[in-house]
Structure formats: C-alpha cells, structure tokens
Amino acid sequence: MGYLARAMYTDEQLEEAMAYLRRRIESELSMEADVERLLAEYAALLVDVMMRNNTTDYENDEDVELLVQDLIDRLIDDCYLLGVDEREDRRDEIVAYMNSERGEDTLEGRISKRCWTFAGEVSAVVSAARKLHAKGAEITDSIIENLKHPYDNGFLEGMDKPQYGRGVETSSMGALETITAYAIADVWMWEWFNQHKDAKGYYVVRGSSYPCDECDEAVRTGPHPLDDIEHFAPLHPHCKCAVVFV
C-alpha cells in the first residue's frame, strides 16, 4: 500500500468524480419522483376499481391484478432506463447486472413484492374509508400522504391502523424509492469502476455531511486497492459518497 499512499488525487480527478456523482444523484432523484408520480396515478386507478367492484380482496380481483402488473412493468422500465442512461449499446449487460440475484431475490422480484404491498395498503385505506362513508376522491387524496407518513395517519383516526413495520421506508412508497434508487446508484458506480480498471486504487470522498460511521471509515482508511469491495460506494442506501481513482 506504500505506493498508493503517495498517489494522492488531483483537483481535476476530484472534480471528475464529483461531476459523475452529481449525474448519478440526478438519476436517483428522477427515479424517486417517478415512484411518487406512478403510485399517485395507480392509487387513483386502484381506488376506482375497488370501489366499482365493491371489493377489497385485492389478491383475487382480475382488474386489480392487471393494474398492479402494469405498475410493476412501468417502474421496472423506468429503473432500467435511468440505470442504462446513455449506455444503450450495453443495455443487456447493464440490465443483467441490475437484476442479478442478491439476497435471494432480484430487483424485479423486490419491485413486484412492494407493488403488491402497495395494493394491500390501498385496500386497507379503502376498507377503512368505507366505514367512514368516504368518497373515492377523498380516499385517493389521502393515500400518498398516508404512504409518506404511515404512522401519522389522520385519515384513519380512531380506527385500527394497519401496521406495515417500522419507519417510513417500510411503506410501499419508501421501500420502492429506496430499492430503485439504490439499484441505480449501484449500477452507476459499477460503471465508474469499469471505466477505471487500470487504476492502482481508489479514495472515497464524502458527498454529503450527513453523519455516517460507515462512510467516515471508508474515507479515513483510504486509499483502497481495487479488490477492496467492502469500502466501494455506494456503501448503503442513500449513500452520496464519490470514488476517486488513482
């Protein structure tokens, strides 16, 4: 590691890495916006179907199933579009990497499961709203705000609230935003690595001031050899660290 310790990066190398990070984050933020927009759109469609069919049995309603599958397909397409970016000539390779099995599931599998969780959350709100004799428009207006704040749900005040786990990210919206944004961040950094296979090593540079022991350790213990995957960004979901190769 002695030669790596002497190979400090230049201002130009740092700016190149930060410019790449900014482009990556733009794609992540675009995906998060797409998730919120599509969930709002499909919440209205699902409420309409459930009210029209007079059912909350979302797992056995063909109309609901078609809507959920359409939502799944659109989210997957958006995620791949932002992950591939301008590298359309390598789309198949990049998509294969993004959808590779990790933790006994694929990206498409995780998106699918969370979309069905979303259908269940909509169904729970519809069921509660019926008891309050609420109209479809009132239900739709509340759903996205409920997903943002699953434990601060005034719409269900006084009723038994469905429990989806701990924290905002365990709502379908939070989970889908995290899953898709991390997949995009991960493939962008994989591409960054592929562009620098001839480097001798890399440094990790904080891209945000948010407290994180994991990121701080990666910065403090650098430079790292190329085979040190443990410290290569993104180190966790929402990680905003940049990588400077030397």
Q: Is residue 155 within 8 Å of 130, Cβ to Cβ?
A: no
**Does pLDDT of 133 surpass 70?**
no
Q: Please give the average per-residue pLDDT across 48-62, as a whole number.
A: 83
**Does pLDDT of 128 surpass 80?**
no
In the prediction, which pLDDT does 225 show? 94
Q: Please give the average per-residue pLDDT across 73-99, as a whole number.
A: 96
Instruction: Give the sign of the dihedral formed by CA 50, CA 111, CA 234, CA 12.
Output: negative
Q: Is residue 130 within 8 Å of 150, Cβ to Cβ?
A: no
pLDDT tens digits for range 174-221:
899 999 999 999 999 999 999 999 999 999 999 988 889 999 999 999
Q: Please give the average per-residue pLDDT across 146-153, as a whole number.
A: 59
pLDDT tens digits for range 108-122:
999 999 999 999 888
Nearest to 129 by CA among 145, 142, 120: 142
Q: How many Cβ atoms from other residues are within 10 Å of residue 237's Cβ? A: 14
Domain boundaries, the chain: 2-20+189-245, 27-178
Q: Please give the average per-residue pLDDT across 91-96, as a whole number.
A: 97
Question: Per-residue confidence at 51, pLDDT binned at 50, 70, 90?
Answer: confident
Mean pLDDT of the residues in the chain: 85
Question: What residues contact 138, with CB distance under 8 A and at least 6 apart?
Answer: 129
pTM of the predicted model, to two decimals?
0.84
Question: Per-residue confidence at 164, pLDDT binned at 50, 70, 90?
Answer: very low
Q: At what angle do helices 62-84 and 107-131 cross, to 10 degrees?
A: 140
In the prediction, which pLDDT does 190 show? 97
Question: Per-residue confidence at 1, pLDDT binned at 50, 70, 90?
Answer: very low
Estimate to the nearest angstrom the gap between the alpha carbon of 37 and the chain centroid: 14
**Does pLDDT of 99 surpass 90?**
yes
Estimate to the nearest angstrom the gap between the alpha carbon of 122 and the chain centroid: 20
In the prediction, which pLDDT does 101 show? 93
In the prediction, which pLDDT does 159 show? 38
